[in-house]
Structure 1
Amino acid sequence: MSKAISPLRPVHLAGAIVLGLATASAGAFDITGKYCDTPSRCVNPSTTQGMVTTSNYLATQAGLKVLRDGGNAIDAAIAAAATLAVVYPQMTTIGGDNFWLIHNAKTGEMRALNASGRAGEKATIDFYKQKGLSKIPARGYLAANTVPGVISGWDEAYRYGKQSMGSKLSWSQLMDSAIGYAQDGFAVTPSLAKWAQININPADQEFRNLQRFTGFKKTYLKADGSIYQVGEVMKQPELAATLRLIAKDGAKAFYQGPIAKKIVDELQRNDGVLTLKDFATHKANWVTPLKVPYRDTVAYNLPPNTQGMAALEILNVLNNFDVKKLGEGTTDYYHLIIEATKEAFADRDKYLSDPDFVQIPVDFLLSKQHGIDQAKRIQMATAATSVKPLDPKGDTIWLGVVDKDGNAVSLIQSVYHDFGSGIVPEGTGVLLQNRGSFFSLDKTHVNHLQPGKRTFHTLNPAMLLKDGKPLLVYGTMGGEGQPQTQAAIVTRIVDFGMTPQDAINGPRWLHGRTWGAVSNDLKIEGRAPLAVTDELKKRGHPINVVEDYTDTMGHAGAIWIDPATKVRYGATDPRGDGVAAGY
């Protein structure tokens, strides 16, 4: 593949000279790598058939086994996601939500699936206000106020894949690995041990001290109340039984059967708001994906209620700059993407909620002219201070799959905060999410609580297409950091020709604030050169240098499909417990 530059007329913007151009098309990788220890680390794995990347090696193997056994990309994604729901409960469980981007190689269509849950019929602002609350609690029974959507997403996607892609595997076979790890146990990873320890801090009654909840203590801690250390074996027999029911009876076991009854019974015994009707009427929805051009590719993401529009807005702004000319890892590079992020987040925070309840001008926000107007506001010498990003508050998994036929899946699944609400209803093993705690109790807020409403979601899986075919399947966990990390991955690969692994390894940043913080800052990994962080400070960025490879930056992943050879290059994040593998 050759690199071609098509310069267009320069556009003089405030503080910078910007080229309105599509820069170099994706060319051959520089396998020496800027952030890899060896060339091999930059391109391994590369395969010709299937590829799976997830944030846990057991989940990757589960997905790969399904591909080898004749399953399609959707089947493999379900098997991997189900395994993650067992071995990575700090980030995702079947009590959470998921979102899908699916590219069908046979039809050429891109499908988007929203499997997020809605607020319960009794979840009203008055309900919380009558309890003397000014905000929805972050943890506990009152935080579990939206129906878990994960199983509905697996079910809907499976049906679509079976019909349109073909598969040799049954629904129940996709649960085999997850059931095995739940019943027989798995070795605890560093990420799980770390977040378990953080969450038993008795001094933090608002966000931590999760051992106060019986189900959490029984499920995730040892009999003496201590955490499972790295390498110790954790078993979840109640979750195994729940997964067996789902394997046998499908989604109806979760939403209309004994599982729903157990969950609702415990919630209602503790003044919770979800009802059997809420579960029985829940469904995942196919939605129209959003897209914007970026250089010679087209970037796809999910529409509201996700922040996919913000991720695309960043790229829409960057289209007006010659990013390659700035140089990867330079002060100008970081500054520009951070400032583009502020522009996108200002729109997101003003408009984003459930489109069934509010009008969101998505076409305008992703228009070429709006991107130009946003670019004109960026001052390269000075950091803008007028925007107020929301708290990151997100713990999630992303996974990607490409099968032998070229079908591609970008899937993101989450329980919101690490370990969600902290509630595990007795007899289920299902940790419930606390996504609904993000609703506002202010009736004037765009994302205020209403029964049946889906809340603002940070989750947004992504994919780049070139000439109508998948080029890059990518995504990350990390709440507020997701659009920023996506921009880092895309620019490093498309504009600078880096391998997916090199792009993910590179120093990352997060513009926003973390739990309990009263002001925003710019977290940047310590591997960024001191000269760069010093110059960013001079431009007005509130720099907070954090540890190298901190998982505050999320666990990213990517699969690059070479347009000429069709070789798949997988990448996973050294900040997590994951691996990419293929055949």
Structure 2
Amino acid sequence: MMKTLTTLSFLAFFSLSVLSQDRITGFNHATRSEVIAQNGMACTSQPLATQVAIDILKNGGNAIDAAIAANATLGLMEPTGCGIGGDLFAIVWHAESKKLYGLNASGRSPQSLNIDHFKENNLTKIPSYGPLPVSVPGCVDGWFELHNRFGQLKMKEVLEPAINYAENGFPLSELIAYYWQRSVQFHGKYPNVIDTYTTDSIAPAKGDIFKNPYLAETYRLIAKHGRDYFYKGEIAHTITRFIEEQGGFLRMEDMAQHYSQWVQPVSVDYRGYDIWELPPNGQGITALQMLNILKGYEFSKDEFGTARHLHLVTETKKLAFEDRAKYYADMDMQDVPVKELLSNKYADERRQLIDENKAGKYEAGSISRGETIYLTVADKWGNMISLIQSNYRGMGSGMVPPKLGFMLQNRAELFSLNPKDANALEPGKRPFHTIIPAFVTKDNQPVMSFGVMGGDFQPQGHVQVIMNLLDFGMNLQEAGDAPRFSHSGSSEPTGAKAKDRGQINIESGFTTPTILQLNSMGHKVGYSPGGYGGYQAIWFDKERGIYIGASESRKDGMAAGY
């Protein structure tokens, strides 16, 4: 949970924070060196999953094969953030066609569920847990879409490492173990959670060997029979029977009718680089709207962490989140004005609303802390993939179908129950999504694939990474390790109730003068330790023919190459 302290109570802590690490070489904030390799690179949030990806590359698979293998492994080893009960988004640079491809593999709401059900039961919002927030899981279909279009190895070969680990066991890493134990404690009241995620009813701790034979069998059946076995076969029947027994609405027709969509990524220019995101129903264009406004300001390389830096990013976030709340939704069912929102003309208009010396009083969204995994892989042929996958709130809804080895997502919680809203719940509609992969090109050539986990923080994280690289001159590792900040809530005057005031939540590493100046500008500042973790990135240096990889220290992840 996020911890926040009043400004005065933690000023002393920040005054003792240092901006550099005790390293002979490297950059101020970098916790380690970048990883550099020629033939391939993989960056994930769990070292064993990174090694699985590298093994796939060495055995003749390409970046797409390796990304699917790593994602399957993370579904086993990091179920606190992902799994085949959730959704998936990806951006792929295909070296042969020299093009970017976007995949939206998010699932839809049940056809038999509408707003009236919640009104009849006096519910003003969709619950966070239980059967009602469950939407169709899109991950498996996303794997097969990626594999059918770009994969080289057979799916059996791709899923074999995860199957072996599920059968034979793996040791839990530190941070995942922390969340795992808390997730089991919270979700243990729901059917099949204890059976699936514990050993002898005890949640595993760091270093404990854990096996998930149910998931091994599920993966084996998917590898043998294909995606239809998940959406139209016995797995689908098991899922829907269970959800119906629990009082939910997901049915066989919802599973059978599911499909992913290939979409065209969208971009804006920032300092001569094209920054790419996927269009809604995700929030990726929020980052692009923010960058479009921020490119109207100049930042010196030594300005990182100043009050001006944090203030301007925060003000652009508030403006972009207004549009996010108003317009973003499933584009199959809503007319989202993406072109207009990303136009320079609109950015110029919005920029005029910002006072460089004073916090604005705009409406802004609240921060959700959904857990996610992000991974990226590059291969010797030049293919690169930026992939993000999640169950939303940690492990998900609490709904674990019997003997399948995974939990279903609770993404449908993000629907609005106001029928006038763009993101209002409708049958067969994709909910607003927080998970977003990103990509960078320059002169129509690949430069970087990257992502930052953390629910609503993600577009803010994307912007901060891009600024760290292009405005403040950081290297790839430092760009992710540098202290982060996140605005949450609205931005009402100081006299308003605390729950109605916006707040900049910062990690350690920002100076006392910065905090005091932000306060004088009308911002409320709080402290959030380690709340915005999960950055992975690969940079392609075309001139030298090398990949540079980075994985930050806030999570258990690792970058590796060969």
Scaled by the length of structure 2, the TM-score of the pair is 0.92
Partner of 1:463: 439
Q: Deviations over 1:226-259 (max 9, x none)?
A: 4211111121111111010011111111101111
Partner of 1:481: 457
Cα distance in 1, alignment partners of residues 113 and 319 from structure 2? 33
Kindly provide the amino acid, as one letter, of the partner of residue 42 in structure 1.
S
1:158 to 129, 147, 151: 147
1:436 to 409, 412, 418: 412
Scaled by the length of structure 1, the TM-score of the pair is 0.89
Q: Deviations over 1:315-341 (max 9, x none)?
A: 111111112367122221121111111
State the Cα distance separating 1:172 from its structure 2 match. 0.9
Partner of 1:35: 29
1:530 to 509, 512, 531: 512
Alignment of 1:302-451 (within 5 A): 302-324=278-300, 327-451=303-427
Cα distance in 1, alignment partners of residues 455 and 352 from structure 2? 27
Q: Deviations over 1:257-289 (max 9, x none)?
A: 111010011111111101111111101110111
State the Cα distance separating 1:352 from its structure 2 match. 0.7
Q: Deviations over 1:478-527 (max 9, x none)?
A: 1111011111111111222211111101000111159x966542210022
Kindly provide the amino acid, as one letter, of the partner of residue 467 in structure 2.
T
Cα distance in 2, alignment partners of residues 65 and 155 from structure 1? 20
Cα distance in 2, alignment partners of residues 563 and 321 from structure 1? 29
Matched, 1:570 2:549: yes
Matched, 1:219 2:196: yes
Deviates more, 1:463-472 or 1:526-535: 526-535
Cα distance in 2, alignment partners of residues 440 and 73 from structure 1? 37
1:103 to 85, 93, 102: 93
Does the CA-based 8 Å contact 2:369-2:456 persist in structure 1? yes
Number of equivalences: 532
Partner of 1:178: 162
Matched, 1:194 2:178: yes
Kindly provide the amino acid, as one letter, of the partner of residue 220 in structure 1.
Y
Partner of 1:258: 234
Q: 2:385 aligns to what SS in structure 1?
A: strand
State the Cα distance separating 1:217 from its structure 2 match. 1.8
Matched, 1:80 2:70: yes
Partner of 1:492: 468
Cα distance in 1, alignment partners of residues 395 and 502 from structure 2? 24
Q: 1:269 to 1:522 in 2, by over 3 A?
A: same
Does the CA-based 8 Å contact 2:293-2:350 persist in structure 1? yes
Deviates more, 1:528-537 or 1:498-507: 528-537
Cα distance in 1, alignment partners of residues 180 and 92 from structure 2? 33
Cα distance in 2, alignment partners of residues 447 and 518 from structure 1? 23
Cα distance in 2, alignment partners of residues 101 and 297 from structure 1? 17
Partner of 1:504: 480
Q: Deviations over 1:170-196 (max 9, x none)?
A: 111110111112111111122222223
Cα distance in 2, alignment partners of residues 494 and 564 from structure 1? 19
Query: Unpaired runs of 5+ in structure 1?
Result: 1-29, 202-208
Q: 2:446 aligns to what SS in structure 1?
A: strand
Cα distance in 2, alignment partners of residues 387 and 457 from structure 1? 20
Q: State the identity as a percent.
A: 38
Cα distance in 2, alignment partners of residues 519 and 31 from structure 1? 42
Q: 1:353 aligns to what SS in structure 2?
A: coil
Does the CA-based 8 Å contact 2:358-2:521 persist in structure 1? yes
Cα distance in 2, alignment partners of residues 121 and 31 from structure 1? 58
Partner of 1:12: none
Cα distance in 2, alignment partners of residues 61 and 433 from structure 1? 27
Kindly provide the amino acid, as one letter, of the partner of residue 582 in structure 1.
G
Partner of 1:4: none
Q: Deviations over 1:549-570 (max 9, x none)?
A: x1x2131111111232131110
Kindly provide the amino acid, as one letter, of the partner of residue 197 in structure 1.
Q
2:273 to 294, 297, 301: 297
Cα distance in 1, alignment partners of residues 129 and 62 from structure 2? 37
Q: 1:406 to 1:372 in 2, by over 3 A?
A: same
Q: 2:188 aligns to what SS in structure 1?
A: helix
Cα distance in 2, alignment partners of residues 347 and 130 from structure 1? 31
Deviates more, 1:396-405 or 1:532-541: 532-541
Does the CA-based 8 Å contact 2:184-2:193 persist in structure 1? no
Q: 1:480 aligns to what SS in structure 2?
A: helix
Cα distance in 2, alignment partners of residues 326 and 339 from structure 1? 21
Q: 1:426 aligns to what SS in structure 2?
A: coil
Cα distance in 2, alignment partners of residues 477 and 414 from structure 1? 10
